[in-house]
């Protein structure tokens, strides 16, 4: 049942908060909740914490010095707050340092291009200049026929977009026939690429072919369907520089190539492989006084992709749980159950850190009361979905009853829930039958503009919402810790999977990938 919390609270006839948020003089029967409001809302530290994490430390790619710096900063900060914290090594990953990057069009005219180095790409060892060519126009026939044509060239691999305008605006203002034509042309261009890739043996045979060429390097543009925004992931090749070029600039190069202008670019990319480096989770905890062997877990991954500073994926989740622990330390330092926070290592590489934690601490799984995970950007929490637990909603509803109405009224409880979102660290616990819930913010803008993009930066954070989210997370952890009962783990039959016509299977557990081997 999908229930607005405000309606639920009214039905439960719980004590209401007497004054609106603007008055900042709240009354409640629970002095701990009242104090949490003061510490979390009126004395918030989220802006200072975000400034250090995003602006000073920066992006936190797996294997990067920045991720290691962020982990050391967290441990040191918790220690200064009087919270026990540690780094737990779970494996290794390829180390990589990203330095400066400059990409310029030098002929037929001069223009600096928007570009990002793909993760783990080699650099250029100084400026390297060459002509830009289109892979699809050259890659005809067997590889031995066309590979030599890549020598000394910067090679565009992916199709260019004809229009880099946000699609919701095109749907509003463009003629229907314009939209249909652009969609058909885009589909045809991508089908041509996918067909050729399949003919060459698929992605995993295609990549070594590119490495075997004498190309200067490779260009792509993975547009995220918004103004100036691209998804930026890892390198196509191990021995040649690989770059993502902004949608508009990539289109410029493509048009020049098609018209015979033979554009030339100069690339100066500083990057350094660092060998195999250790990888860690950061774990902090407030030990329980009555039930120290039962756990409430606050969860957020610390790593990010590298083209921006990982502000909403997952800097905001990190700050939410970090600030929640500060609030708890000041207002509820001696919890009934142990409250633990996990700042997980590379979620972006396959939930590795949280999966490793559940494997290394399998004895804890039966003792976990609840996990609260946050991993999708700014804006207020709007949804807690029950993930298929039949009776957990009774507990979460009671916990939300303690929350100020001006917070609770924005949150919908969907219990038992369809278990439809399986892409974050809660899954590492959920697959073991542990009640693990996402504190979920709105998705649409996040998916389009900041998720894994070159625009995921500090300025996208809405701090009024972030301070409220952190305070709400602390309140939920407190209520879950004090609950006299354990959250039941009964499961419902999940909704029908339209692909099979059968109920969807409960999410399964993957194995943590602990080694750099084979990346």
State yes or no: pLDDT of 67 exceeds 90.
yes
Domain 109-262, CATH class in plain words: alpha beta
C-alpha R_g of the chain: 25
- Strand pairing partners for 154? 132, 217
- Strand pairing partners for 230? 223
State yes or no: pLDDT of 456 exceeds 60.
yes
Give the tens place of pLDDT for each residue, 202-256.
988 888 999 999 999 999 999 999 999 999 999 989 999 999 999 999 999 999 9
Give the tens place of pLDDT for each residue, 266-276.
999 999 999 99
DSSP assignment of 11-34 equals HHTPPPP-S-GGG-----S-HHHH
What's the average model confidence in pLDDT over 385-397? Answer: 97
State yes or no: pLDDT of 22 exceeds 90.
no
CB atoms within 10 A of CB 244: 25
Confidence at residue 4, expressed as pLDDT on a 0 to 100 scale: 55
State yes or no: pLDDT of 347 exceeds 70.
yes
State the span(s) of the chain assigned CATH 3.50.30.
109-262
Beta-carbon contacts of residue 321 (< 8 Å; ≥ 6 apart): 298, 299, 300, 341, 343, 374, 470, 473
Q: What percent of the chain has pLDDT over 90?
A: 89
Q: Give me 22's structure tokens.
A: 């603007």
Give the tens place of pLDDT for each residue, 178-213.
999 999 999 999 999 999 999 999 988 888 999 999
Confidence at residue 519, expressed as pLDDT on a 0 to 100 scale: 52
Confidence at residue 422, expressed as pLDDT on a 0 to 100 scale: 87
State the span(s) of the chain assigned CATH 3.40.630.10.
2-13+39-94+276-495
Q: Give me 241's structure tokens.
A: 């520089």
State yes or no: pLDDT of 5 exceeds 80.
no
Cα–Cα distance between 321 and 374 in angstroms, integer? Answer: 8
Confidence at residue 2, expressed as pLDDT on a 0 to 100 scale: 60
CB atoms within 10 A of CB 2: 11
Cα–Cα distance between 389 and 435 in angstroms, integer? Answer: 7
Band of residue 1 on the pLDDT scale cut at 50, 70, 90: low
CB atoms within 10 A of CB 492: 17
Band of residue 18 on the pLDDT scale cut at 50, 70, 90: very low
**Of residues 386, 155, 373, 384, the one with CA closest to residue 253:** 155
Exposure on the CB side of residue 358, measured as CA atoms within 13 A: 26
- Strand pairing partners for 234? 119
What's the average model confidence in pLDDT over 482-488? Answer: 98
Confidence at residue 28, expressed as pLDDT on a 0 to 100 scale: 64
Calculate the average pLDDT of the chain.
93
Residues in the chain: 519
**Of residues 152, 154, 155, 151, the one with CA closest to residue 136:** 155
Kindly state the DSSP code that residue 367 receives in the 8-state scheme. G
What's the average model confidence in pLDDT over 387-398? Answer: 97
| Contact (CB, 8 A) for 3 and 412 | yes
Confidence at residue 24, expressed as pLDDT on a 0 to 100 scale: 40
Exposure on the CB side of residue 470, measured as CA atoms within 13 A: 31
Q: Which residue's entry shows tokens 């803008």?
A: 445
State yes or no: pLDDT of 12 exceeds 80.
no
Overall fold of domain 2-13+39-94+276-495: Aminopeptidase (3.40.630)
């Amino acid at each position: 049942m999908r229930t607005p919390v405000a309606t639920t609270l009214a039905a439960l006839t719980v004590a209401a908060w007497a004054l609106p948020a603007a008055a900042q003089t709240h009354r409640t029967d629970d002095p701990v909740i009242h104090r949490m409001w003061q510490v979390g809302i009126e004395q918030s530290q989220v802006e200072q914490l975000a400034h250090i994490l995003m602006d000073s430390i920066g992006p936190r790619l797996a294997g990067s010095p920045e991720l290691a710096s962020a982990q050391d900063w967290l441990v040191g900060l918790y220690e200064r707050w009087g919270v026990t914290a540690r780094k737990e090594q779970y494996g290794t990953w390829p180390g990589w340092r990203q330095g400066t990057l400059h990409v310029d069009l030098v002929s037929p005219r001069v223009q600096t291009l928007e570009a990002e180095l793909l993760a783990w790409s080699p650099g250029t060892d100084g400026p390297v200049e060459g002509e830009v060519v289109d892979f699809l126009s050259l890659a005809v026939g067997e590889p031995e026929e066309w590979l030599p044509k890549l020598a000394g060239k910067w090679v565009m691999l992916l199709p260019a977009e004809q229009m880099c305008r946000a699609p919701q605006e095109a749907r509003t203002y463009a003629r229907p026939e314009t939209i249909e034509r652009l969609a058909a042309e885009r589909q045809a261009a991508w089908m041509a690429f996918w067909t050729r890739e399949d003919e060459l043996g698929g992605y995993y045979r295609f990549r070594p072919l590119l490495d075997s060429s004498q190309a200067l390097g490779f260009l792509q543009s993975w547009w995220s369907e918004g103004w100036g925004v691209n998804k930026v992931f890892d390198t196509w090749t191990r021995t040649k520089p690989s770059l993502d070029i902004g949608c508009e600039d990539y289109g410029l190069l493509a048009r020049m190539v098609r018209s015979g202008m033979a554009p030339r670019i100069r690339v100066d990319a500083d990057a350094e492989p660092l060998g195999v480096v250790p990888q860690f989770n950061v774990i902090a905890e407030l030990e329980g006084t009555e039930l120290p062997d039962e756990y409430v877990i606050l969860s957020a991954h610390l790593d990010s992709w590298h083209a921006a500073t990982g502000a909403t994926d997952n800097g905001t989740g990190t700050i939410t749980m970090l600030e929640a622990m500060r609030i708890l330390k000041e207002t509820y330092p001696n919890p009934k159950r142990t409250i633990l926070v996990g700042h997980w290592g590379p979620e972006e590489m396959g939930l590795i850190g949280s999966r490793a934690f559940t494997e290394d601490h399998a004895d804890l799984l039966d003792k976990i009361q609840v996990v609260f995970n946050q991993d999708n950007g700014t804006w207020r929490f709007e949804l807690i979905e029950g993930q298929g637990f039949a009776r957990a909603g009774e507990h979460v509803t009671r916990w939300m009853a303690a929350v100020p109405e001006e917070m609770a009224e924005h949150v919908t409880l969907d219990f038992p829930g369809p278990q439809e979102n399986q892409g974050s660290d809660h899954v590492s616990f959920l697959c073991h039958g542990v009640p693990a819930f996402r504190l979920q913010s709105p998705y649409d803008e996040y998916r389009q503009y900041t998720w894994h993009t070159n625009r995921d930066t500090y300025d996208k954070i809405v701090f009024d919402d972030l301070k409220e989210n952190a305070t709400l997370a602390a309140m939920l952890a407190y209520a879950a810790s004090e609950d006299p009962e354990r959250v039941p783990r009964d499961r419902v039959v999940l909704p029908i999977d339209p692909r099979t016509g059968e109920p969807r299977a409960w999410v399964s557990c993957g194995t943590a990938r602990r080694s750099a081997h084979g990346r």
